[in-house]
Every structure is written in structure tokens, then in C-alpha cells.
Amino acid sequence: MPLVAHNDLPSFSRLRTEGVTVLSRERADTQIIRELHVGLLNMMPDAALEATERQFLRLVGESNPIAQFYVHPFTIPALPRGEQGQAHIGRYYESFDEIREQGLDALIITGANVTHADLSEEPFWEPLIEVIDWAWDNVTSTLCSCLATHAVMQFRYGQKRVKQARKVWGVHEHRVLDKRHPLVADVNTRFDVPHSRWNDISAAQFASADLHVLAESEEAGVHLAVSPDGLRTVFFQGHPEYDTVSLLKEYKRDLLLAAQGKLPQLPPFPDNYFDVFSRSVLNEFAAQVAAGGKPEFPEPLLLPHLDNTWHDTAEAVVGNWIGCVYQVTHSDRKRPFMDGVDPGDPLGLYKK
């Protein structure tokens, strides 16, 4: 903390209104404090583009008081965009060439919408692999979110995601498996994380790739894992960045699509998210739609009944990640590690 508004990205203004500390570039320049430059490869579709920006900016900005954070959003041109989304990217985002030229201390890669069973057939595959390859040699740590985790597991470790019979959807309890690792230091040994995915990389697949699982759920599987060195790549399968309303918006989208005949059936409720009252309200709404009515979606009735049971832990884990990056990153962000840091064990986890 704090974020630095080094450009006029609208998300900075939105976060200020929420109480997140965001410095102007002029004020930041007057303070003697170290900068950390974090890339945000945002591959989300237009409808979620700006919300995803804010979610990750918020986690980074709230994470740690030791640095000023310059977040550099960029995307992959091969992803389909509408006029509004393309205009937003054209005005506020940087190019990968600019990112590569200036260097980064850390990188976050978001999820994306897919249309193929095999990720290597997606239009973003080759450009994404180019970013992943560059980051491996030039960025201290890359945090992969959901689909990005699946892409890296397939590309770098030969582990393909597996389609599940039922969507992993809802808020699930997880247990920390290795309390000694600095990414989960002082984090509750049990904590919640939202999930929203049809595909899964199992604990056995992570183990087969010699990766270290740090947090897992009996119902939702692995959420948090790291590369063998403990830091170079951090894997999320869940969505700790989600807002309180994110799952509600996903449910609303699917419910309305089903009402229009674009989905074969009504979506199930996300696990452990709606209370009894909310389920009753939604069942009544679905019944009215099925009877040919056109009621307004009852969002105002539902909002007071939604709880966020994951954000504080998400903030703590991302804060720990930023702290680890800070400890080992060279002040010249084109050099991923400080002198004397072992790239194979940057955190000193395996010293004898």
C-alpha cells in the first residue's frame, strides 16, 4: 500500500471512493519509498474487464505498507472485444512490448472465457505462452488465477485440466496444508474461497508436477499451490479476488440465459452462498419466469443477505506474496532477483 495512479485508469477513482489509498503520481514522487511494479494481464471478457481490474488492484493496494504499487494492465490482442472494451484497452492499457521493455517485479494473470476443450486451441494460447515464458526468466513471481493456472499446468508441466461432472461453484472451506510456508504465514488454518469452474487440476496432478499444494478443500479441491522453488509461480484455482456480489452476478446471468432458452435448465445455487431467504426469493422469481412473467431480478432483496467470508484471507495471502517479492526483488526491475539470492530457493526454504 498504497497504489499509485500513474495514469487515468477509471478503476483508480472507483477505488478511492471505496476508501482504498491511491496516491497521485505527483504525491508519490515526493515520498522516499520503494516502488514495486506489478503487471496485470487481464484476459477477462468485456463484461468483467473493469471489475477484474478493481478486484486485483484492491488486493494489491490493501496488501502491504512497504511499497508504492504501480500496476500495469495489459491484455492479449487476439481476444475478441467489443467496441467499448477495445476503447477501454486502447486508452488505459499498455502493450506487452512496453511491459517487456520496462520490466516488472511481479505479474498477475487472470482467467479468461474459453470455447475449446483443449486450451492449446484457444486464440490466446500462443500469446499467453509468450508472456509466461518471458515472465519465467524476467519476473520474480507470477500469480496465476484459475484459467491461467490451468494454462501454465498444461504448457509447462504437461498436466491437462479435467472436466468435472458438476460445476465447482460456490464458497468452499479450505485447510492450510503447510503452515511454514511464508505465503500462508499467520493465515487462518481454515478459510473460505469462492470457486467458479467446470474443470479441475487435482492434487495428484500438482504432486506429479513436483508442485507444492498449500491449501485444499475437500469439496473444491486444490486452491493454492506454488512452484518447487516456493515463489516463481503461484497458482490459484479459486477466485479470492471476487467481490461479495460476484457469484450473484454469475447466477443472475445464467438464470436469465436459461429463462431465454439459451441454457438447457435453470442453474443450481452456488454452494454455501445464498441463505434460506435468498433461495426462497430466487425460487419465486424462477417460478414467475417459468409461468411467462417478466419480473425484475430481485437483486435489492438479496444484497443484504450476502456475506463475504474470504476477503480478509485473500488480502493476507496476497500481502504475504507481495512481501516475499519485496524481500528478494532487485531494485532494477529488469533483474528478477537481488544479488546473492538463489533463484532455485529465493526464500531460503530449503537451506540445510
Determine the 3-state secondary structure of 77 from DSSP.
Answer: coil
CA distance 131 to 140: 14
Concerning whether 37 is annotated as a catalytic residue, the answer is no
Length reported for the chain: 352
* pTM, rounded to two decimals: 0.90
Task: Tell whether the model's pLDDT for residue 352 goes beyond 60.
Answer: no
Residue range 270-299: average pLDDT? 93
Does pLDDT of 27 surpass 90? Answer: no
Q: What is the pLDDT of residues 203-229, one digit of tens each?
A: 999 999 999 999 999 999 999 999 999
**Which positions ≥6 away from 352 have C-beta within 8 Å?**
none
* Across 173-192, average pLDDT: 94
Selected catalytic residue, list 50, 122, 216, 241: 241
What are the pLDDT digits (tens) for 312-346?
Answer: 999 999 999 998 898 888 878 888 888 888 889 99
| 239 labelled catalytic | yes
Q: Reply yes or no on whether the pLDDT at 243 is more than 90.
A: yes
Say if CB 220 and CB 172 are below 8 A apart. yes
Cell numbers describing residue 164: 468435472
- Give me the pLDDT at residue 40, please: 98
What is the pLDDT averaged over residues 152-175? 96
| Residue 83 annotated to the active site | no
The predicted-structure confidence for 185-201, as pLDDT tens digits, reads as follows: 889 999 999 999 999 99
**Based on C-alpha coordinates, what's the Rg of the chain?**
20
Sheet bearing 106-112, strands edge to edge: 22-24, 3-5, 68-74, 35-43, 106-112, 141-145, 233-236, 221-226, 212-217, 162-176, 190-200
> pLDDT at position 268, please?
93
Neighbouring residues of 181: CB distance < 8 A, sequence distance ≥ 6: 212, 214, 226, 230, 349
Determine which of 3-17, 34-48, 281-295, 319-333 has the lowest per-residue pLDDT on average. 3-17
What CA–CA distance (Å, rounded) separates 237 from 216? 10
The phi-psi region of residue 191 (left if phi > 0; otherwise alpha if psi is between -120 and 50; otherwise beta) is beta
> Tens digit of pLDDT for each residue in 62-94?
876 677 889 999 999 999 999 999 999 999 999
Per-residue pLDDT at 174 exceeds 90: yes
| Whether the Cβ atoms of residue 320 and residue 311 lie closer than 8 Å to each other | no
Q: Which residues of 18-32 are buried (b: 16+ CB within 10 A; e: fewer)?
A: eebebbeeeebeeee
**Domain locations in the chain?**
3-242+310-328, 246-305
In the set 172, 195, 239, 311, the catalytic residue is 239
Residue 30 binned pLDDT confidence (cut-offs 50, 70, 90): low
**20-27: Cβ within 8 A, 24+ apart:** 20/57, 20/58, 20/61, 20/62, 21/61, 22/61, 23/68
Beta pairing partners, 38: 71, 106
CATH 3.40.50.880 for domain 3-242+310-328, yes or no, is yes
Q: Whole-angstrom Cα distance, residue 119 to residue 228?
A: 24
pLDDT at position 31 over 70: no
Residue 349's H or E segment, with its range, is none
User: In percent, how much of the chain has pLDDT > 70?
Assistant: 95
Choosing from 53, 146, 172, 174, the catalytic residue is 146
Mean pLDDT of 128-148: 96
Q: How confident is the model at residue 162 (pLDDT cuts 50, 70, 90)?
A: very high
Angle made by CA atoms 281, 287, 292, in degrees to the nearest 5: 130
Tell me how far apart the alpha carbons of residues 256 and 249 are, in angstroms, rounded to a whole number. Answer: 11
Lowest mean pLDDT among 67-76, 141-150, 196-205, 259-268: 259-268
Rounded to the nearest integer, the mean pLDDT of the chain is 91
